[in-house]
Chain A
C-alpha cells in the first residue's frame, strides 16, 4: 500500500446558518487519481477550498495532515508552497496577456523589480511542452481556444511545482476531444508520480481516470470506492450520490403525437461577427415538428449556439442568409423581440452571462421577457407578476423560500428552472434549449427532462442542444449532428448510438 499523502480529518465548516461540511474525512494516497463526486452544493468545492487555504486555518474545525505533518494554511500561497495547487472551474487567465505572463502571474521569474523575460518564456515553453501544447508562450491567451486555455492552467500549476493537483470541473467547458486529451494527460502525470484530486459531474470521466472515488453528499463523505477492488459503473456512483438508485435517468414520454413541421431553416449561413470571411454556420437545413424533441449534438465550437442564436432574432453573427419558416410562413426575425413575437424562445447555455439578472429576484427574472404579460400600458401589476412567479415556481418545483429571493443566491439547477420559467412564460411554440443541464446535478437534470417532456406533451417543439451524448440519445426523437459549422448527420433516436454519432463526426472531418 502506497504512502498516504493527504489526510483530512473530521473537517467541519459552517457558514452562517449552514453546515457546509460535517465531519468530513478524506484520504489520498501518493500517486493516485482520486475523484470527488457529489451533487451540486454537496460540499466538494468547499472541501477543496479548505484544503487550499481559501478558507484560512481557524475558520474550520478538524485537521489537515499533508506529507505526515499537520498543516495550517492561512492563505493560498501557504498551500502552494507545499505543492498543493488547485485549478478552479472558472479559468483564471488574463485574456490580454501572453501565456507566459499568465503562467508566472504572481510568481514572476527574475527579481521583484526586474522581470527576467527570457527566463519567463523559456520556462513557460518547457511546461507547455509537458502538457502537450505546441503554442509559443508568447501567444496571447485570447488567441487560443478554451481547451488549450485549460492546458495552460495545468502548465501554470506545474510551474508551481505541484505535488498534489486539484482539478475542479476541469472539463466542464471542453468538448469531447479536448476532454479526452486532458484525461489522458492526467493519466500520463500519474505515471510520473503526481497525485491528483478531480472534481467532476461527468461520471464517464470518473470511471475512466479514477483510482478511488469518494462520494460527498450533504456535506458528509458517504463512501470511498476503490476502483481496483470492485466493479465500478456510473449507476453505482449515482446511487451513492443521490442516496437512491435512479433506475431511469431519462423519463419516458407517453403517447406524444408528433405533428406537422413547426419550424424549418434552409440554406442557413452565418458569418463570424468579427471575421466576416469565416462561416460559423454553413448552409444548414433543419426542421422540427410539433411535439418533437430534436437534439443537436456537436462538439463545442461546432456552431450549435451560433446556429440557435442566429435563428433567434439574429442575436448572433453577421451576414446571415437563408430562409426561416415558422408554421408554414416564411419570416425574417431581425431582433429578439420579433423572435419572441413569432413564438420562439432561446434558453441560453450561459445562464449567468446571457440568461438571468442575478441581482434581481426570481419574480423579476420570470417576467423579464414578457413584461406585457404582467403590465397594463407599461405600468407593472406587481400582484400579477408575483402570482406568475409563484405559479412557475410550483410548476417547475424550484426550491426557494420565496420568489423574492435573488436569483444569484440559488443553486445552478434552480437557476436553470428560473430561466426555463422565464421563457415558458413567453408562451413559445418552439423552444431552443442550449445545454439545458450543464453544470447541474443528477436530480435536477431529471426534473429538467420531465419539464421537456411536459412541453412536448403540450404540443410544443423542443430543440435541445447538448454536448452530452447519453442525454441527446436519451431525450431526443431525432438527432442532428453538427461539426465545423455544418450539419453532418441526421438520425432517428432509435438508430442512434454513441458509436455511430461519433463516427459521423469523424467521417465528416476526414472527408474535408
Chain B
C-alpha cells in the first residue's frame, strides 16, 4: 500500500474537519466560552434527545431515505404518559417500562402501515405526527404535569443531581470521570490493536501504521479531553451514559449484525435484496419499531431534563434528528451512512446552536444559519458524489 492521499482523508473526514473549523470559529467569536466545562456539559445534556433520535432515524434513512416525521410528537406523547403515571405515585420503573413499551407499540403501529400496507413513510409518519400530538394533549389534558421523582430525574439526566457520583470524595476535580475517560481510551486502543494484529496474522490489508497511530492518538486525546472538561464541572451527566449506550448498540447493529446489513442492502437495492431471500418488509418494520423505541427513550430523557411534560414538547425534534443524519453523511437515497457520522452531525448542529446562543444571535437568524448549514452539507455530499463519476 502506498501513501494515503491527503484528498482522500479530506473527503472521508470532511464533516470532522468542518466540526473542528466550526468549533474554532466559535472559540474565537465567544472568547473561548464555548469550550468552558459547563458548556461542554450542556452541549451533551441539551442534545441528548438528538443523539438518541438520530440513531433511530439513521436506520430508517438507511432503508431508502425514509424518515420519521412523527418522532417529535411521539416524544411528547410518551413523555406525557410517563409524567401522568408518575404523578399518580406509581413505581418509577413501571413508568419507565410503560414508556419504552409504549414507544415500541407506536413503532409497531407505524411500521405496520409502512412495511406491510406500503403506505409511503412520509405520509404514514405525517399522520402520526398529527395524531400523537393530539394524543399528547389528551393525555396531559392540555396542562403541564411536573415530575418530582428524584430517582427518575437523576437516572435520566434531569434536575441538579443528574451526575454519576464521584467515588473518590468531593475534590474540585471529579476523579471518577477522568478515570473513566482514560479507561475508555485504553479500551479503544486495545480494541484497535487487537483488530490490527488479527488482520495482520490473517494477512488482510491494513491501513498504514502511521495513519492508524495518528488516528488513535487523536481519538484518545479528544476522549480524555472531553472527560477532563466534564471532570472540572460536575462529572459525567447521566444522559451521556444513555447516549453512549444507544450509540454503541446502534454502531454494533449497523456494522456487525445481519439486520444491520439488510438495512443497507434494502436501501441500496430493494429488488436484489428481495431476490436474495430477504423479506424487505421485515427490514422496514424493524427500522420503524426501533424508531419507536428510540422515540420512547428520547421522551424519557426530554421530560426528565425538563422535570415535567408539556403538550408542546418535542416540536421540531424530528427535524433535528433528520438534519443530524444528513449532515453526518447519510445518503438521502438510502444505503449509505453510519453512526459515527450521525455523532459528528448531531454535535456539529449542537455546537452551532450553542455557539450562536452564547454570541447572542437572535433566534430567528439561528434558524437561518442552521438551514444553510444543512443545505451546504447536502450540496457538498452531492458534489463529491458527482466528482466520483
The verdict on A369 contacting B336 (CB below 8 Å), with A356-B269, A357-B269, A378-B257 known, is no
Determine if A357 and B272 form an interchain contact, defined as CB atoms under 8 angstroms apart.
yes
Q: For the complex, is A92 an interface residue (Cβ under 8 Å from B)?
A: no
Which residues in chain B, 256-285, are within 8 Å of chain A measured between CB atoms? 256-261, 264-265, 268-269, 271-279
The verdict on A353 contacting B271 (CB below 8 Å), with A369-B277, A371-B261, A380-B261 known, is yes
Determine if B336 and A356 form an interchain contact, defined as CB atoms under 8 angstroms apart.
no
Q: For the complex, is A83 an interface residue (Cβ under 8 Å from B)?
A: no
Q: For the complex, is A73 an interface residue (Cβ under 8 Å from B)?
A: no
Chain B residues with CB under 8 Å of A356's CB are 269, 272
Please tell me which stretch of B175-183, B198-206, B374-382 contacts chain A, meaning at least 4 of its Cβ atoms lie within 8 angstroms of it.
Answer: B198-206
Determine if B335 and A336 form an interchain contact, defined as CB atoms under 8 angstroms apart.
no
Chain B residues with CB under 8 Å of A315's CB are 274-275
Partner among B256, B275, B331 whose Cβ is within 8 Å of the Cβ of A354: B275
Chain A residues with CB under 8 Å of B269's CB are 353-354, 356-358
Chain A residues with CB under 8 Å of B198's CB are 383
Chain B residues with CB under 8 Å of A354's CB are 269, 271-272, 275
Complex Cα spacing A313 to B275, Å? 9
Determine if B258 and A378 form an interchain contact, defined as CB atoms under 8 angstroms apart.
yes
Determine if A360 and B268 form an interchain contact, defined as CB atoms under 8 angstroms apart.
yes
Complex Cα spacing A49 to B216, Å? 46
Q: For the complex, is A375 an interface residue (Cβ under 8 Å from B)?
A: yes
Determine if B268 and A337 form an interchain contact, defined as CB atoms under 8 angstroms apart.
no
Which residues in chain A, 363-395, are within 8 Å of chain B measured between CB atoms? 364, 368-369, 371-372, 375, 378-380, 382-383, 386-387
Chain B proximity mask over A189-201: 1 for CB below 8 Å, otherwise 0: 0000000000000
The verdict on A337 contacting B257 (CB below 8 Å), with A356-B269, A357-B273 known, is no
The verdict on A335 contacting B277 (CB below 8 Å), with A357-B269, A357-B335, A358-B268 known, is yes
Q: For the complex, is A121 an interface residue (Cβ under 8 Å from B)?
A: no
Determine if B279 and A335 form an interchain contact, defined as CB atoms under 8 angstroms apart.
yes
Determine if B202 and A336 form an interchain contact, defined as CB atoms under 8 angstroms apart.
no
Determine if A359 and B335 form an interchain contact, defined as CB atoms under 8 angstroms apart.
yes
Complex Cα spacing A359 to B62, Å? 12
Determine if A336 and B277 form an interchain contact, defined as CB atoms under 8 angstroms apart.
yes
Determine if B277 and A386 form an interchain contact, defined as CB atoms under 8 angstroms apart.
no
Chain A residues with CB under 8 Å of B331's CB are 359
Complex Cα spacing A383 to B204, Å? 9
Chain A residues with CB under 8 Å of B260's CB are 380
Determine if B257 and A379 form an interchain contact, defined as CB atoms under 8 angstroms apart.
yes
Chain A residues with CB under 8 Å of B275's CB are 312, 315, 336, 346, 348, 354-355
Chain B residues with CB under 8 Å of A357's CB are 264-265, 268-269, 272-273, 335
Complex Cα spacing A372 to B276, Å? 12
Determine if B258 and A375 form an interchain contact, defined as CB atoms under 8 angstroms apart.
yes
Determine if B205 and A402 form an interchain contact, defined as CB atoms under 8 angstroms apart.
yes
Chain B residues with CB under 8 Å of A358's CB are 268-269
Q: For the complex, is A438 an interface residue (Cβ under 8 Å from B)?
A: no
Q: For the complex, is A182 an interface residue (Cβ under 8 Å from B)?
A: no
Chain B residues with CB under 8 Å of A404's CB are 205
Nearest CB of chain B from residue A412's CB, rounded to whole Å: 16
Which residues in chain B, 161-215, are within 8 Å of chain A measured between CB atoms? 198, 202, 204-205
Complex Cα spacing A382 to B257, Å? 10
Q: For the complex, is A505 an interface residue (Cβ under 8 Å from B)?
A: no
Nearest CB of chain B from residue A42's CB, rounded to whole Å: 19
Nearest CB of chain B from residue A228's CB, rounded to whole Å: 40
Partner among A336, A371, A387 whose Cβ is within 8 Å of the Cβ of B258: A371
Partner among B205, B256, B276 whose Cβ is within 8 Å of the Cβ of A379: B256
The residue in chain A whose Cβ has the minimal distance to the Cβ of B199 is A383
Determine if B271 and A336 form an interchain contact, defined as CB atoms under 8 angstroms apart.
no
Chain B residues with CB under 8 Å of A369's CB are 276-277
The residue in chain A whose Cβ has the minimal distance to the Cβ of B265 is A357
Q: For the complex, is A186 an interface residue (Cβ under 8 Å from B)?
A: no
Complex Cα spacing A348 to B336, Å? 24
Complex Cα spacing A340 to B277, Å? 7
Chain B residues with CB under 8 Å of A312's CB are 275
Q: For the complex, is A486 an interface residue (Cβ under 8 Å from B)?
A: no
Nearest CB of chain B from residue A367's CB, rounded to whole Å: 8
Chain B proximity mask over A296-332: 1 for CB below 8 Å, otherwise 0: 0000000000000000110100000000000000000
The verdict on A383 contacting B202 (CB below 8 Å), with A337-B278, A360-B265 known, is yes
Nearest CB of chain B from residue A198's CB, rounded to whole Å: 26
Determine if B279 and A380 form an interchain contact, defined as CB atoms under 8 angstroms apart.
no
Determine if B256 and A359 form an interchain contact, defined as CB atoms under 8 angstroms apart.
no
Complex Cα spacing A356 to B59, Å? 21
Complex Cα spacing A354 to B280, Å? 14
Q: For the complex, is A422 an interface residue (Cβ under 8 Å from B)?
A: yes
Complex Cα spacing A382 to B264, Å? 16
- Tell me which of A339, A356, A359, A364 has the highest count of chain B C-beta atoms within 10 A of its own C-beta: A359
Complex Cα spacing A336 to B256, Å? 24
Complex Cα spacing A404 to B1, Å? 14
The verdict on A382 contacting B256 (CB below 8 Å), with A339-B277, A357-B265 known, is yes
Complex Cα spacing A353 to B269, Å? 7
Nearest CB of chain A from residue B215's CB, rounded to whole Å: 18
Chain B residues with CB under 8 Å of A379's CB are 256-258
Chain A residues with CB under 8 Å of B256's CB are 379-380, 382
The residue in chain A whose Cβ has the minimal distance to the Cβ of B388 is A409
Chain A residues with CB under 8 Å of B258's CB are 371-372, 375, 378-380
Complex Cα spacing A358 to B260, Å? 17
Partner among B264, B265, B279, B336 whose Cβ is within 8 Å of the Cβ of A337: B279
Chain A residues with CB under 8 Å of B202's CB are 383, 387
Chain A proximity mask over B103-122: 1 for CB below 8 Å, otherwise 0: 00000000000000000000
Nearest CB of chain B from residue A363's CB, rounded to whole Å: 11
Chain B residues with CB under 8 Å of A355's CB are 272, 275
Nearest CB of chain B from residue A382's CB, rounded to whole Å: 7
Complex Cα spacing A335 to B331, Å? 30
The verdict on A336 contacting B265 (CB below 8 Å), with A360-B335, A380-B257 known, is no
- Tell me which of A356, A357, A371 has the highest count of chain B C-beta atoms within 10 A of its own C-beta: A357
Complex Cα spacing A375 to B348, Å? 35
Determine if A368 and B271 form an interchain contact, defined as CB atoms under 8 angstroms apart.
no
The residue in chain A whose Cβ has the minimal distance to the Cβ of B259 is A378
The residue in chain A whose Cβ has the minimal distance to the Cβ of B260 is A380
Chain B residues with CB under 8 Å of A368's CB are 261, 265, 272-273, 276, 278
Determine if B268 and A422 form an interchain contact, defined as CB atoms under 8 angstroms apart.
no
Complex Cα spacing A459 to B248, Å? 46
Complex Cα spacing A375 to B259, Å? 11
Complex Cα spacing A379 to B254, Å? 11
Chain B proximity mask over A453-480: 1 for CB below 8 Å, otherwise 0: 0000000000000000000000000000
Complex Cα spacing A402 to B204, Å? 10
Nearest CB of chain A from residue B2's CB, rounded to whole Å: 12
Complex Cα spacing A359 to B264, Å? 9
Complex Cα spacing A472 to B257, Å? 42
Complex Cα spacing A383 to B203, Å? 11
Determine if B261 and A364 form an interchain contact, defined as CB atoms under 8 angstroms apart.
yes
Which residues in chain B, 234-264, are within 8 Å of chain A measured between CB atoms? 256-261, 264
The residue in chain A whose Cβ has the minimal distance to the Cβ of B262 is A371
The residue in chain B whose Cβ has the minimal distance to the Cβ of A352 is B269
Nearest CB of chain A from residue B150's CB, rounded to whole Å: 39
Chain A residues with CB under 8 Å of B272's CB are 348, 353-357, 368
Interfacial residues, chain B to chain A (CB-CB below 8 A): 198, 202, 204-205, 256-261, 264-265, 268-269, 271-279, 331, 335-336
8 CB contacts below 8 A, A to B, read A315-B274, A354-B272, A354-B275, A357-B265, A369-B276, A375-B257, A383-B198, A386-B204
15 extra interface residue pairs, beta carbon distance < 8 Å, beyond A354-B269, A368-B278: A313-B277, A315-B275, A336-B274, A337-B279, A340-B277, A354-B271, A357-B272, A359-B268, A368-B261, A369-B277, A371-B261, A380-B256, A383-B198, A383-B202, A386-B204
The 10 closest A-B pairs by CB, nearest first: A357-B268, A337-B277, A369-B276, A336-B277, A340-B277, A357-B269, A371-B258, A359-B268, A368-B276, A378-B258
